[in-house]
Amino acid sequence: MKKLLVAAALVLGLAGCSTATGSSAGNSAGETLTVFAAASLKASFTELAKTYEAEHPGSTVELSFAGSADLATQISQGAPADVFASADTGNMDKLQQAGLLDGDPRVFATNTLAIAVPPGNPAGIRSFPDLAKPGTRLVQCAPQVPCGAAAAAVETQTGTDLTPVSEENSVTDVLGKVISGEADAGLVYVTDVKAAAGKVEGIPIPAAAAAVNSYPIAALADSRNLAGAQDFLDLVASPAGQQMLADAGFGSSRQ
């Protein structure tokens, strides 16, 4: 009888261990990672998210794209997220100074401005100063947005005074207005021109080399999935992740 009781106890104990292990594995496999990223990262981070999910079966990456300033504001106001990738260091610095980051941010890519025009370039834009010609419907990012700050730097560099008909809160909104024909030209990133190939034509801006945007990424202190956040940061910095970014037109951080 005692032997039967001991055997039963062992069976129950093993069953309990098996259930606990299965539960733990299920939670790990089903974790969600929330990534806030600059609008210009949409194409590349969508691909990176797919790679992450393939490497973490059962996990889900929820992506939220917007202007870096808007995302930083949302995070500072308590929006739940695990990772933040900004199109500039300024907005990331604000979160770091507020104690909202887990560790130091890493710069993982760079980007520069280009002029996007509709196919055929009906307004005849050939250079950055052409954007200031009377009657030109120029759209650019608002000053607080990284692409807007870069545009201001190029204005200073070239001695050009731009008068846009509209200032947008994200670079994708600028690009959308050029694609829809609402603008003769838009100041976007070289990566946006590449992503919209066939829908817009790109005109390089030599002076933009003096206004390179550095893209930092960091895990957030209030993350509910810090392990997953770290894995995502490692993926972005990995050779495979860097190749995806290079394919999208981003420059190397070399940091």
Q: At 91, give phi and psi (nearest 5°).
A: -70, -35
Give the span between the Cα atoms of 194 and 201, in whole angstroms. 9
Number of H helices, E strands in the chain: 9, 10
What sign for the dihedral angle of Cα 233, 234, 238, 244?
negative
Helix locations, 59-210, DSSP H: 68-76, 89-97, 146-158, 171-179, 190-195
User: Which residues are known binding-site members?
Assistant: 40, 68, 171, 189
Give the span between the Cα atoms of 240 and 52, in whole angstroms. 11
User: Which residues are known binding-site members for molybdate?
Assistant: 40, 68, 171, 189
Give the span between the Cα atoms of 83 and 20, in whole angstroms. 29
Closest CA to 141 of 63, 70, 41, 36: 70
